[in-house]
């Protein structure tokens, strides 16, 4: 019997176009831990001070290593599934993080911070209006002269996605539904195996914005046991647009460089901005 797809795209929440629930949260918890951002964020917090806030902390990929260092860092995320896994992982190490279930555009934490950072979060929302509100919320959460670290993924970073600026390529959207695949699923600690795939549903060149359908599959004993579908909407920004947005809401950009290279070909830019007042 074919498994029934389940939509876990957080319908009803302010940022309903995220997909980090259910099987995806499990994948994120086991496959995506640590990473090159950790030492960079650590240096950022040491430079600008504590307490710090990890916005879009997920299952604790960056947050937990910082807590192990004894840093005063809180976490927020829109996904209750992600936060639950983060808390469970933290408890096994004797850590007690303060976690808040909030989207970026609804951020309202009863604490102000010297440092706030976002890793791969900004732009994952339903609209540019929500992104603007998210920046305003970040500004309010910071103490005077507090600092924000935000990474920016250049929209031209993927040749596969870049082609959709061309009208003839957009006419091919949405891409065909995902069918059977020879791609091997990844083993999980509970004995199951997961596979994640995606297809492009739409691209708006005037936004610009990209919408994907995300397919998560769970296998047990080599047989497909569960399917979960979600939608991921991402607003795309140039570096200059993001800098102007930050300045408009009251930030002063103090550092702007490419984390992957010092040339225009760098794919990820790290922007540090301080609250002016």
- Cα–Cα distance measured from residue 225 to residue 238, given in angstroms and rounded to the nearest whole number: 41
pLDDT along the chain (277 residues), means of 10: 36 48 94 87 96 97 97 97 97 96 96 96 94 98 96 72 91 95 96 96 94 96 95 91 96 72 57 92
The whole-number pLDDT of residue 200 equals 95
Task: Count the neighbouring beta carbons within 10 Å of the beta carbon of residue 246.
Answer: 22
**Angle, nearest 10°, between helix axes 128-141 and 239-248?**
50
With left for phi above 0 and alpha for psi between -120 and 50, is residue 227 left, alpha or beta? beta
**CA torsion, ordered 105, 108, 109, 111, to nearest 10 deg:** 110
* Burial grade of 239 (CB within 10 A; 0-12, 13-18, 19 or more): middle
- Which structure tokens are listed for 138? 């970040």
Q: Which domains does the chain have, with CATH numbers?
A: 6-11+163-234 (no CATH), 32-155+237-275 (3.40.50.150)
Contact indicator for 40, 20 with CB cutoff of 8 Å: no
* Cβ contacts of 76 within 8 Å, gap of 6 or more: 53, 54, 55, 56, 57, 99, 100, 101, 102, 107, 109
Residue 89: the pLDDT is 95
**Cis, peptide link before residue 180, omega less than 30° from 0:** no
pLDDT computed for residue 273 by the predictor: 97
| Pairwise CA distance, residues 26 & 268, whole Å | 26
Whole-model pTM over 0.75: yes
Q: Are 85 and 25 in contact (CB under 8 A)?
A: yes
Give the count of beta carbons closer than 10 Å to the beta carbon of residue 91: 11
Q: Among candidates 95, 92, 103, which has minimal Cα distance to 63?
A: 95
Residue 18 main-chain phi, psi, to 5 deg: -95, 160
């Amino acid at each position: 019997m074919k498994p029934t797809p389940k939509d876990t795209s957080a319908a009803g929440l302010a940022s309903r176009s995220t997909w980090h629930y259910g099987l995806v949260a499990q994948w994120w918890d086991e496959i995506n831990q640590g990473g090159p951002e950790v030492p960079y964020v650590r240096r950022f917090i040491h430079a600008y001070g504590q307490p710090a806030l990890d916005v879009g902390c997920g299952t604790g990929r960056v947050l937990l290593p910082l807590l192990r260092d004894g840093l005063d860092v809180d976490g927020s995320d829109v996904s209750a599934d992600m936060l639950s896994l983060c808390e469970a992982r933290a408890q096994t190490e004797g850590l007690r993080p303060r976690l808040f279930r909030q989207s970026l555009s609804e951020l309202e934490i009863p604490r102000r911070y010297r440092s706030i950072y976002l890793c791969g979060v900004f732009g994952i929302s339903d609209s540019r209006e929500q992104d603007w509100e998210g920046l305003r919320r970040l500004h309010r959460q910071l103490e005077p002269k507090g600092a924000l670290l935000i990474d920016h993924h250049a929209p031209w970073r993927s040749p596969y996605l870049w082609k959709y600026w061309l009208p003839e390529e957009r006419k091919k959207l949405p891409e065909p539904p995902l069918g059977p695949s020879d791609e091997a699923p990844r083993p999980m600690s509970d004995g199951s195996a997961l596979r994640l795939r995606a297809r492009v549903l739409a691209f708006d060149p005037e936004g610009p914005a990209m919408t994907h359908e995300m397919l998560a599959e769970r296998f047990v004993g080599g047989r497909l046991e569960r399917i979960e579908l979600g939608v991921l909407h991402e607003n795309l920004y140039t570096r200059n647009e993001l800098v102007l947005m930050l300045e408009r809401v009251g930030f002063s950009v103090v550092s702007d460089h490419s984390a992957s290279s010092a040339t225009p070909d760098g794919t990820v830019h790290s922007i540090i901005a301080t609250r002016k007042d």
